Every structure is written in C-alpha cells, then in structure tokens.
C-alpha cells in the first residue's frame, strides 16, 4: 500500500492520509469523500475542493464542487 494525502478545503483546511494501492484508488477515495461531504453539508460551501497528493506531496489532482442557482429575471420579479 502507498500513502496518499487528501486536503479538504471549504474555507478551512483539513488534511488526512490514506493507504491505498495506487493513485487511481486515491482519486476514487477523494471523489467519494467529496460526494459524502456535499451530501452531509447541503447546500455545500461556496467553494469546496480536495487536493490529492502522493507520498512526496506532489499534487495528483484537484477535485472541486461548486453549488450555484441562477434565477431568471422573470422568476425574481414574480417572487417580489
């Protein structure tokens, strides 16, 4: 098993290490963490991201999620 690091950032930063066989599994774990965090904290923070790094702290990928609703002007007028 290799050690990879997941740094979750949503205004605050938290880092954790995971032991998985390879980088693909690390990315899969990061994607699952991003999905679970988003579901548990809905609506999610404005800018949520996870940076995946290897043992040497080289960035492999950055996963992010942005939640946004754009209302059309016609709808806004009817709500006021």
Answer yes or no: is pLDDT of 75 > 70. Answer: no
Q: Which of the four pLDDT bands, split at 50, 70 and 90, describes residue 80?
A: low
List the domain range (segments joined by +) for residue 73: 2-79
Q: Record the tokens describing residue 66, joined without a space.
A: 């942005």
The 10s digit of each residue's pLDDT in 44-57 is: 777 889 999 999 99
Would you give the end-to-end CA distance of the chain in angstroms?
58
Q: In what order do the strands lie in the sheet with 13-20?
A: 13-20, 2-9, 48-53, 59-65
Number of domains in the chain: 1
Q: Mind spelling out the 3-state secondary structure of the chain?
A: CEEEEEEEECCCEEEEEEEECCHHHHHHHHHHHHHHHHHHCCCCCCCEEEEEECCCCCEEEEEEECCCCCCCHHHHHHHC
């Amino acid at each position: 098993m290799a050690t990879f690091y997941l740094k979750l950032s949503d205004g605050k930063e938290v880092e954790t290490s995971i032991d998985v066989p390879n980088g693909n599994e690390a990315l899969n774990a990061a994607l699952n963490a991003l999905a679970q965090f988003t579901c548990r904290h809905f609506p999610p923070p404005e800018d949520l991201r996870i940076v995946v790094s290897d043992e040497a702290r080289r960035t492999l990928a950055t996963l992010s999620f942005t939640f946004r609703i754009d209302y059309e002007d016609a709808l806004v007028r009817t709500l006021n």
